[in-house]
C-alpha cells in the first residue's frame, strides 16, 4: 500500500498560509492540535496562530521536550480528550516524530511543518522514538500534508541542514544494501523508489560545494530532496530505499554512546562512509561532500570513542536481523571492524 502526501507547499513565508493550507485539506476541519517545542513556538508560534485564527480554526498547543515513548503516551492522553481533526508537528525531528506517532495511534491525519531540514522524516511514514524495544525506526503513517517555509528553515542552525545532507547521502548505501538483498536473498526491489532515493543523494554529491551559506535556494533544494526521499519510502512501502546498514550503525551508536554522539544525520553520514567502503564504492567522494557542507567525517567531531564505534559496528546488524545488508554479508569481528575504521580515516 502506498500512502503519499496529498498536498505539499514550499516557499518563502508560506507559514502565513498555514490556516488556508489546513482548510484546503479538509474544509470540515475545526480543531487542530499543534505539537512543538518551546523554542520553536517562540520563533514560529505567532504567525502560525495568526493564520489559524484567520481561517476560523481552533488550535491546541502541546509542548514536547524529547522524542520518547513517554512523550508519545502523555500526548496521546491529552489528545484523546481534545479529539482534534488534524495533528500537526511543528519543529524538528523530535516534534515531527512524536506528533506522527501519536496521530498514527489515534488514527488522525498528520501534518508535517518542519522548521529545520535535518532528516527525511518530514515526509516519510517512519519515526524514531526512544524507549521502544529496538532502537531503530518504526512505521507509522505518512503526512497527508507538508508545509515547508524556506525562509524559516534557513534561520535554523547550519548544523541541522548539514545533518539533513548526511541523511540524504545515506541513500547511496541504503539502495546498495537493497540491491544486495535482491541479488542474494531474492527480496522485492522497487526500481522507481530506489532511483528516486538515489536522485536525492546525487543532488548532495553533485552540488555540495554550493551549500555553504544557508541561502533560501540551498534550503529549498535540500528540503525538496528530503521530501523526495521520504516519498520514496512511501512508494516502497518500507524504509528500504532510505535506510540500510548506515542507519543501523547510527541507531547502534546512539544506543551505545547516548544522546551526546551527534545528530542522527551526522551519524548516518559517518555510517555512509563506512558502508561505502564495504560496498567498494568511492567512499572518499562521500567524505568530500560531507566536508563541503561542514558535516563531521571523523569520530572526534561527534565526540565518540574508538571503542564505541567498534561496538556499534558489531551491534548494528543485530538491531534488524531480518534486514539483509552488507554488514550481514561481511560479518565483521572486533579486529576487522577496527581496521575498517582506520581505512576510512574515521579515527
Angle, helix 191-207 to helix 158-185, in steps of 10 degrees: 140
CATH number, residue 113 = 3.40.50.1970
Q: Tell me the β-bridge partners of 136.
A: none
CB 249 within 8 A of CB 275: yes
Specify the pLDDT at position 210: 82
73 in the same domain as 173: no
The total number of structural domains that make up the chain: 2
126 in the same domain as 53: yes
CA-to-CA separations, 227 to 6, 65, 113, 222, 330, in angstroms, rounded: 13, 25, 12, 9, 32
194 in the same domain as 139: no
53 in the same domain as 131: yes
Specify the pLDDT at position 134: 66
- Domain membership of residue 78 as a residue range: 7-154
Report residue 279 as a C-alpha cell: 560496498
How far apart are alpha carbons 38 and 94 in whole angstroms? 12
347 residues of the chain, pLDDT tens digit each: 788 999 999 999 999 999 999 999 988 888 999 999 999 999 999 999 999 999 989 999 999 999 899 999 999 999 998 999 999 999 988 999 999 999 999 999 999 999 999 989 899 999 988 887 666 688 899 999 999 999 999 999 999 999 999 999 999 999 999 999 999 999 999 999 999 999 999 999 998 888 776 677 789 999 999 999 999 999 999 999 999 999 999 999 999 998 789 999 999 999 999 999 999 999 999 999 999 999 999 999 999 999 999 999 999 999 999 999 999 999 899 999 999 999 999 99
Burial 301-313 (b: 16+ CB within 10 A, else e): ebebeeebbbbbb
Parallel/antiparallel/unpaired status of strands 138-139 and 126-127: antiparallel
Taking the complete model, does pTM exceed 0.85, yes or no? yes
148 in the same domain as 18: yes
The distance of Cα 251 from the centroid of its chain, to the nearest Å, equals 12
Beta-sheet strands, E only, within 12-155: 31-36, 58-63, 86-91, 110-114, 126-127, 138-139, 145-149
CB 177 within 8 A of CB 274: no
Specify the pLDDT at position 171: 98
174 in the same domain as 274: yes
Helix, coil or strand: residue 288 = helix
Report residue 339 as a C-alpha cell: 581496521
The answer to whether position 2 is within a domain reads no
Specify the pLDDT at position 44: 94
174 in the same domain as 60: no
How far apart are alpha carbons 38 and 55 in whole angstroms? 24
CA-to-CA separations, 284 to 204, 247, 281, 344, in angstroms, rounded: 14, 19, 9, 8
147 in the same domain as 56: yes
R_g (Cα) of the chain, nearest Å: 19
The distance of Cα 116 from the centroid of its chain, to the nearest Å, equals 11
Specify the pLDDT at position 346: 96
Return left, alpha or beta for 75; rule: phi > 0 is left, psi -120 to 50 is alpha, else beta.
alpha
Counting every residue written for the chain, the total comes to 347
Helix, coil or strand: residue 333 = coil
306 in the same domain as 167: yes
319 in the same domain as 191: yes
CATH number, residue 276 = 1.20.1090.10
CB 216 within 8 A of CB 154: yes
180 in the same domain as 253: yes
Residues in contact with 277: Cβ distance below 8 Å, sequence separation at least 6, in sequence order: 283, 340, 343, 344
CB 145 within 8 A of CB 111: yes
135 in the same domain as 167: no
Q: Which of 154, 186, 213 is the last residue of a domain?
A: 154
Amino acid at each position: 500500500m502506498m500512502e503519499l502526501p496529498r498536498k505539499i507547499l514550499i516557499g518563502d513565508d508560506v507559514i502565513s498560509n498555514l490556516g488556508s493550507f489546513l482548510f484546503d485539506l479538509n474544509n470540515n476541519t475545526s480543531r487542530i492540535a499543534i505539537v512543538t517545542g518551546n523554542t520553536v513556538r517562540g520563533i514560529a508560534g505567532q504567525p502560525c496562530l495568526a493564520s489559524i485564527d484567520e481561517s476560523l480554526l481552533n488550535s491546541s498547543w502541546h509542548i514536547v521536550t524529547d522524542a520518547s515513548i513517554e512523550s508519545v503516551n502523555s500526548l496521546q492522553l491529552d489528545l484523546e480528550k481534545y479529539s482534534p481533526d488534524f495533528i500537526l508537528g511543528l519543529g524538528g525531528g523530535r516534534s515531527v516524530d512524536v506528533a506522527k506517532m501519536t496521530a498514527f495511534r489515534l488514527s488522525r491525519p498528520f501534518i508535517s511543518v518542519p522548521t529545520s531540514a535535518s532528516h527525511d522524516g518530514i515526509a516519510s511514514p517512519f519515526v524514531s522514538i526512544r524507549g521502544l524495544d529496538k532502537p531503530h525506526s518504526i512505521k507509522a503513517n505518512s503526512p497527508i500534508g507538508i508545509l515547508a517555509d524556506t525562509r524559516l528553515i534557513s534561520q535554523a542552525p547550519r548544523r541541522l541542514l548539514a545533518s539533513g545532507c548526511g541523511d540524504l547521502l545515506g541513500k547511496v548505501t541504503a539502495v546498495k544494501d537493497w540491491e544486495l538483498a535482491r541479488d542474494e536473498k531474492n527480496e522485492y526491489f522497487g526500481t522507481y523508489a530506489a532511483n528516486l532515493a538515489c536522485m536525492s543523494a546525487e543532488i548532495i554529491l553533485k552540488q555540495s560545494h554550493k551549500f555553504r551559506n544557508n541561502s533560501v535556494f540551498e534550503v529549498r533544494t535540500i528540503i525538496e530532496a528530503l521530501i523526495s526521499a521520504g516519498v520514496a519510502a512511501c512508494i516502497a512501502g518500507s524504509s528500504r530505499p532510505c535506510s540500510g546498514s548506515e542507519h543501523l550503525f547510527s541507531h547502534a551508536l546512539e544506543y551505545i554512546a547516548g544522546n551526546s554522539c551527534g545528530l542522527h544525520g551526522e551519524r548516518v553520514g559517518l555510517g555512509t562512509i563506512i558502508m561505502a567502503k564495504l560496498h567498494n564504492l568511492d567512499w572518499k567522494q562521500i567524505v568530500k561532500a560531507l566536508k563541503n557542507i561542514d558535516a563531521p567525517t571523523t569520530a572526534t567531531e561527534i565526540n565518540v570513542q574508538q571503542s564505541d564505534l567498534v561496538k556499534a559496528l558489531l551491534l548494528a546488524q543485530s538491531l534488524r536481523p531480518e534486514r539483509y545488508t552488507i554488514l550481514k554479508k561481511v560479518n565483521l569481528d572486533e579486529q576487522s571492524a577496527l581496521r575498517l575504521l582506520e581505512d576510512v580515516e574515521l579515527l
